[in-house]
A and B are shown apart, each in its own frame.
Chain A
């Protein structure tokens, strides 16, 4: 489906554009220029964010945090092998993808650990990155209750990923 989504969408956009006599090339370049401006606007927040995230990953803080959280996770029925992924997921997209490959290589894909990791990676997002980029693009300084609500959703996603795999896939 994803394989077809882009081609079909692009074809539909172009065909309706031509049928409705839209000056497609001019409109495309105007829109592209807007896109470029938005990208330049996001750049400062990206620098701030990615610097902090790469520092965090280099510091070993994630390992310390994992060691602290793992026993609690196990008590809640969450596989401790997936804890590093759960902690990294909201912070770094590329980092959590590398961590997912690591889980697959070490514990297999069709195991409880591999499945929970897959569901977790698929059903949550890089919260910190999304917040910084979206708000950074329009210069929002006060994000109010965004972080609290987003973190609530993330915690729910983490807890549910283990529950859903046990419930729907029999572990």
Chain B
């Protein structure tokens, strides 16, 4: 899917650039994009080191398992059959906590750690597991209690009460997160059913993974 999306965006840009007579800026963007990515990675790299290190201390100090214990009922609903006290759930919870508090810089490194843990338990490496889809979708839907950046901008532009948007933000972000997760669940179970038949419903992906390992 990412393949089609990526090629689609590039080709659309080239076509639109030719159509609007902006082929030169498009070419410049193409050639400069890599440098921009490296710049972003450097900024991201600092945050990844900081939060990776703090997360490790929190793990060893027992803070994350405390959080995992408290949130186990929620995690069981979102990620059935995944150990709610395991490393994957702990990392996902830290990511969600950072997202809720509006700490985007912390959420990404914690989320990537969670993805690494989920991949370890993935029966089909290289293909997104149902858990991964739900987790990524939770991140793309962005549940935020306090939208810090937007509130700061609103203040700068003279809003009478910069945070008066909060109820609307909560309603919108929670509703869209629920829709996204529900879609992920429905589509996930649909795919599982269409690929296998009858009573082998749950065994399919695991089988494929085991076969792959045996072949290797």
Chain A positions within 8 Å of B, measured between CB atoms, are: 1-2, 5-6, 9-10, 12-14, 16-17, 19-20, 22, 24, 27-36, 38-39, 42-43, 46-61, 63-64, 90-91, 97, 100-101, 104-105, 108-110, 114-115, 118-128, 130-135, 137-150, 152-154, 156-157, 160-161, 164-165, 167-169
The answer, among B37, B50, B183, for a CB contact under 8 Å with A148, is: B183
List chain B residues, Cβ under 8 A from A144: 1, 127-128, 133, 187-188, 191
- Residues A122 and B165 in contact in the complex (CB < 8 Å), given A34-B113, A59-B12, A149-B137: yes
Q: Does residue B179 face the partner (Cβ distance < 8 Å to A)?
A: yes
Q: Does residue B49 face the partner (Cβ distance < 8 Å to A)?
A: yes
A2 touches B169 (CB 8 A): no
The answer, among A17, A127, A168, for a CB contact under 8 Å with B57, is: A17
A54 touches B141 (CB 8 A): no
B57 touches A46 (CB 8 A): no
List chain A residues, Cβ under 8 A from B196: none
Tell me the smallest distance from the CB of A28 to a CB of chain B, in Å. 4
Bound-state CA distance A3–B13 (Å) is 40
The interface residues of chain A, by DSSP majority, are classed as helix
Q: Which of B151-206 contact A (CB under 8 A)?
A: 153-154, 157-160, 162, 164-165, 167-169, 171-173, 175-177, 179-181, 183-184, 187-188, 191
B171 touches A135 (CB 8 A): no
Give the interface residue-count category, chain B. 35 or more
Name the residue in B6, B15, B140 with the highest tally of chain A Cβ atoms < 10 Å from its Cβ: B140
Given A118-B150, A147-B5, output 19 extra A-B contacts at Cβ < 8 Å.
A2-B148, A13-B58, A16-B61, A16-B63, A28-B54, A33-B52, A38-B48, A51-B29, A54-B32, A61-B12, A100-B153, A108-B157, A109-B158, A122-B173, A124-B176, A134-B135, A137-B112, A138-B119, A165-B168
Q: Does residue B146 face the partner (Cβ distance < 8 Å to A)?
A: yes
Q: Does residue B87 face the partner (Cβ distance < 8 Å to A)?
A: no
Name the residue of chain A whose CB is nearest to the CB of B20. A60
A123 touches B176 (CB 8 A): yes
B52 touches A35 (CB 8 A): yes
Annotate B105-148 by CB proximity to A: 1 below 8 A, 0 otherwise.
Answer: 01011011101101100000111100011011101111011111
- Residues A47 and B14 in contact in the complex (CB < 8 Å), given A12-B63, A123-B176, A124-B176: no
A2 touches B53 (CB 8 A): no
Tell me the smallest distance from the CB of B63 to a CB of chain A, in Å. 5
